[in-house]
Amino acid sequence: MELRQLRYFVEVAEREHISHAAAALHVAQSAVSRQISNLESELGVDLFEREGRNVRLTQIGKIFLSNAKAALKAIDHAQKQISEYIDPERGSIKIGFPTSLASNMLPTIISEFKKIHPKINYQLRQGSYNFLIDSVNNRELDVAFLGPVPTEHTRIISNVLFMEEFYALLPKSHPLAKAEVIRLYDLRNDTFVLFPEGYILHKLVIDGCKNAGFTPNISSQGEDLDAIKGLVSAGIGITLLPKSALTDVNPDYCVKVAIPEAELKRTVGVIIPKNRQLAPSENVFYQFILDFFNQRIIND
């Protein structure tokens, strides 16, 4: 069994079309067909069902695809480790992050890291809470920033970097807009603008409000921070967001007010896979993150 056969197989399986796969691989269609046929002969099973010009995976083909992709990821990672062992400063790091950490924390860390390691490259991927955890597990990402930090996943290593408070984001016309601090319970009669159910920030706000003695009345929902901030600016409702998500609030339309209560805080941290060793450039970046925030704690 050859690596080329596995790569051809995965490409055909994902495209369900041999000629399309051949075009993506920049090889002749006959070469792809021959390698797939050789692979099936070696395994002694049919991996595909032919349907005219299209192909579909058989049941055993679906099982083989999952294992083939895992094997290719492991081999690619091994090749990357060897390459970076020779020159760690020319590595590439796949970094995941949520929307709430995109405007301040992530740019700060990468900017500081680039001053020391200017030749290392980055592939950045924004995603939801569960997506980031799954992507670190399955090798799609090398490291990911998260808030709150997961504590019950056995296949990842979690490190808390800091604790973050939530703020109330209010329309400028709100009766409490000029307050320096407010209690969460003071907002019990307001209508809320939140992320949809299933988003981690939705759960944190709902749980925080319930701990404060009320269930929030949700009037509208938005799937990104800009939408939520826009709805608050328009006077549709109020929202609760972590401090790092409020660095670009427009003071002409809304204000952020601190809520110094234990009910609404979150841990923010970084996760890496537990079942594989980080490549040299990845480990340099990971250690930099830990040292960077440890130094900030000491200075504070």
* pLDDT tens, position by position, 197-218: 989 999 999 999 999 899 999 9
Both 150 and 223 in one domain: the answer is yes
Both 80 and 140 in one domain: the answer is no
Both 94 and 80 in one domain: the answer is no
| Domain CATH code at residue 45 | 1.10.10.10
Q: Please count the other Cβ atoms lying within 10 Å of the Cβ belonging to residue 170.
A: 24
Q: Which uninterrupted H or E stretch holds 6?
A: helix 3-15
Domain end marker among 42, 65, 85: 85
Both 150 and 133 in one domain: the answer is yes
Both 143 and 178 in one domain: the answer is yes
Amino acid in position 54 = N
Both 35 and 170 in one domain: the answer is no
The Cα–Cα gap between 231 and 21 comes to 45
The domain tally of the chain equals: 2
Residue 69 domain boundaries: 3-85
Per-residue tokens: 88: 């760690």
Both 95 and 81 in one domain: the answer is no
pLDDT in tens, the chain (300 residues): 788 888 888 888 888 888 888 888 888 888 888 888 888 888 888 888 887 778 888 888 888 888 888 888 888 777 766 766 656 666 789 999 998 888 888 999 999 999 998 888 889 999 889 999 999 988 889 999 999 998 888 889 999 999 999 999 999 999 999 998 899 999 999 999 999 998 999 999 999 999 989 999 999 998 888 899 999 999 999 999 998 888 878 888 899 999 987 668 899 999 999 888 888 888 889 999 999 998 765 555
Domain end marker among 65, 85, 105: 85
CA-nearest of 183, 247, 244, 181 to 214 is: 183
| Domain CATH code at residue 112 | 3.40.190.290
Both 163 and 242 in one domain: the answer is yes
Both 78 and 105 in one domain: the answer is no
Tokens 């090798």 locate to: 139
Domain end marker among 36, 65, 85: 85
User: How far does CA 291 lie from the centroid of its chain?
Assistant: 22
Both 212 and 228 in one domain: the answer is yes
* DSSP codes, 141-189: -SEEEESSPP-S-TTEEEEEEEEEEEEEEEETTSTTTT-SB--GGGGTT
Both 148 and 254 in one domain: the answer is yes
- Determine the pLDDT at residue 32: 84
